Structure 1
Amino acid sequence: MKNFVITMALMGAASSVMADPAGVRTAEIEMPHHNSQAGISIWYPNGGGGDLAVVAENPVFHGVEAAVDAEVHVGTHPIVMFSHGMGGTTRAQAWLASGLAERGAIVVSVNHPNSTWGDFDMSKGVNHWTRVADMSIALDVLLADPAFVDHVDTSRIMAAGFSYGGWTALSMGGLTGNHAGIIETCRERLDEMEACAMLMSEGVNMPGIDPDVWNESYADARITHVTAIDPGFVWGLTAANVAGLSPNVHMIGFGGPLDRMRATNFDESGLTDLLPNARFTRFDPSFHFTAMPLCKPAAEEILEEENDDPVCTDPDGTDRAAVHTAIIDIIAEELGL
């Protein structure tokens, strides 16, 4: 049964969190399909030890406290494989990874080659199947790591992601692409749909991608749950594209009628109607970048100087911290935490 939940950003839910900050480890792993390495971050329940540090801090965004290289807490824990957005990094949703780890999950995020801040080539990054391959390899690495192998609950493995990463999560969970559908959408809405001009440009040439490769299933059979936060590529899909999707799906959307990003609007695109058994949460007021970290007082001024605002300019009435807390609660509840 479809469950529509209209969530106001000012509401907050009480949650049971661990007293200690989450543990975190980082590594570089081989990605043969890119012929390169990629950085991964693993957040996990703190079992003691480690060096306390503030992670993902910069002049614009607040970081989060973590215990670097701490031991893993006893017992087994569900896994969240988290994919960042276009031009994002593993640091961009550290607030989510640390919050979930404090609730009892192991969270793995990957710096996707070709679509990460500082490593951005959208002519390659648009090849969405490579991102799922990144996540599947990272899951392989986690499950083979002696530090974690006895602490994972393989009956609860969630694919989650934000924006382009939201599509990655859906794809990893069994959703397939519709090349003709997204191309037609971009041609019809080129001037109003975010990112379509770039995707249709000569440099990226999305129309030139082999439709059979775009439309193939890239599902990872180990995925049991999916949470997609304001996901991209949600237009032009049909019932056939959702047929193989995990039955445990939660869709999270940002914004109301005046500030919802069209490219990620799963309601307007028709995807909502194709998912009668999924759960939905929409935050209003908020906007797409409410999923970014908490901003420092000087953030808006710094970003305006770099022509990168409005990443920190939420709609009036938005409580970004409350939205973050609610998303952590949603995912934790999906995993039984």
Structure 2
Amino acid sequence: MRKISYLLAGVLAAYGVVAQAQPYQPAMTDLEIPDAEGERNLSGFLWYPTYATHPVTYDFESEVWVGNKVVKDAVPVTQQFPLVVLSHGMFGNAYNQAWLANALAQRGYVVAAISHPGTSTWSRDPDQTRQLWERPKDISRVIDHAIGSSDFARNVDPDRIYMAGHSLGGFTAMELAGARYDTAGLKRYCETQPDELTCGILSDWKIAQTPEDRVKMEADLSDPRIKAFAVFDLGGTQSFSKTSIRQIDRPMLVLGAPIMNSGLTLDIESRALVAALPEANTLYIEPETLSHFDFLGLCKPGGYELLAKVEPGDEVICSNGGAVRAAKHEMIIEGVSRFFSNS
């Protein structure tokens, strides 16, 4: 395992602030992928490079979150670019890593993000939540669409497909990389650690609690088209077979967040993951001031106070969510883009 020290992570952050000007303007369009059976339609957004410079608008409006400047529905640059597919965390949505998507589009990537049914902000149906095996399949469907039937298929290089996932999205990324869910192993672990966060969540969601669900959850959900992965402070490491993690043969960038304000424990999540991954293909970055919620967008002035008023307890997601978080974003953007370009 290659590990970037706290000091070097700081250097990367400083480098990211002065990164060279990018040649493209980020564009954005809606992404809709219907399900033939009508049970799991996917909605989200596609960011991509354009030369168009107007009309510039924001990707979304929010009282809490800072939007990112884009040219909506602009004509794309007529060449092929790498594709990055993003997967959000528990009860998040396709906007959560818009800051990363926007920056990658500037650097010459096409980026797709969808809101996973059952585990997104606006879709929490318990039956869909239980079908956690559908999350990696969602990502594979996005790839199918992006290189096949979409209007942007000619702009995507099918040989350069990457994925980044945050929290539960990191769990999803691991399944796509080849990690296999281990129901019996997780049961043994949770019997010794009943108060561990992931144990409680997966139990509440009734994951793999019937023989039929167990077969689907323990299936091989990997997608060999994805060449490399970036995993952001994932949850659920203990649910995977260590043997399957050791067999992953694709490049893995793992970012751990030692400021533990989410309930996840770094020693049994990101650190345990990189200890099990093949050393030659793994790069681990653990900046000492990084928190779980720094992988979300920037918060507006007053966003913390607004959340404290309307959603008490949720204000933690905007702790140091302004300029301090922006500097961390620059480090992450630089690290991810360099990792993918070298993979």
TM-score by length of 2: 0.87
- Structure 1 residue aligned with 2:292: 288
Q: Deviations over 1:113-157 (max 9, x none)?
A: 111101113453243320111111111111124632222222221
- Structure 2 residue aligned with 1:82: 86
- Structure 2 residue aligned with 1:336: 341
Paired letter, 1:66: V
- Structure 1 residue aligned with 2:258: 255
- Distance (whole Å) between structure 2 residues aligned to residue 140 and residue 269 of structure 1: 32
- Distance (whole Å) between structure 1 residues aligned to residue 266 and residue 39 of structure 2: 31
Note if contact 1:9-1:320 (Cα within 8 Å) is conserved in structure 2: no
Q: How much has 1:266 moved relative to structure 2?
A: 5.2
User: 1:130 aligned to 2:131?
Assistant: no
Across the two proteins, how many residue pairs are aligned to each other?
332
Question: 1:27 is matched with which residue: 20, 27, 31?
Answer: 31
3-state SS of 1:170 partner: helix
Note if contact 2:96-2:297 (Cα within 8 Å) is conserved in structure 1: yes
Q: What 5-or-longer segments of structure 1 have no aligned partner? A: none
- Distance (whole Å) between structure 2 residues aligned to residue 270 and residue 146 of structure 1: 38
Q: What 5-or-longer segments of structure 2 have no aligned partner? A: none
The 5 Å alignment of 1:289-328 reads 289-305=293-309, 306-307=311-312, 308-314=314-320, 319-328=324-333
- Structure 2 residue aligned with 1:208: 209
Identity over aligned residues, as a percent?
A: 25
Report the RMSD for the aligned CA atoms in angstroms: 2.6
Alpha-carbon distance change, 119 to 228 in structure 1, aligned in 2, over 3 angstroms: same
- Distance (whole Å) between structure 2 residues aligned to residue 298 and residue 176 of structure 1: 42
Note if contact 1:261-1:287 (Cα within 8 Å) is conserved in structure 2: no
The 5 Å alignment of 1:10-49 reads 11-13=13-15, 14-32=18-36, 35-48=39-52
Q: Deviations over 1:43-95 (max 9, x none)?
A: 11113266421113300110100110111123221110111111111111100
Alpha-carbon distance change, 295 to 66 in structure 1, aligned in 2, over 3 angstroms: same
- Structure 2 residue aligned with 1:242: 245
Note if contact 2:44-2:112 (Cα within 8 Å) is conserved in structure 1: yes
Alpha-carbon distance change, 57 to 188 in structure 1, aligned in 2, over 3 angstroms: farther
Question: 1:166 is matched with which residue: 158, 164, 170?
Answer: 170
Note if contact 2:57-2:71 (Cα within 8 Å) is conserved in structure 1: yes
3-state SS of 1:58 partner: coil
Paired letter, 1:245: I
User: 1:155 aligned to 2:159?
Assistant: yes
Note if contact 1:255-1:261 (Cα within 8 Å) is conserved in structure 2: no
Paired letter, 1:299: G
TM-score by length of 1: 0.89
Q: How much has 1:16 moved relative to structure 2?
A: 3.0
- Distance (whole Å) between structure 2 residues aligned to residue 129 and residue 279 of structure 1: 26
Note if contact 1:231-1:264 (Cα within 8 Å) is conserved in structure 2: no
* Higher helix proportion (structure 1 or 2): 2
Note if contact 1:25-1:68 (Cα within 8 Å) is conserved in structure 2: yes
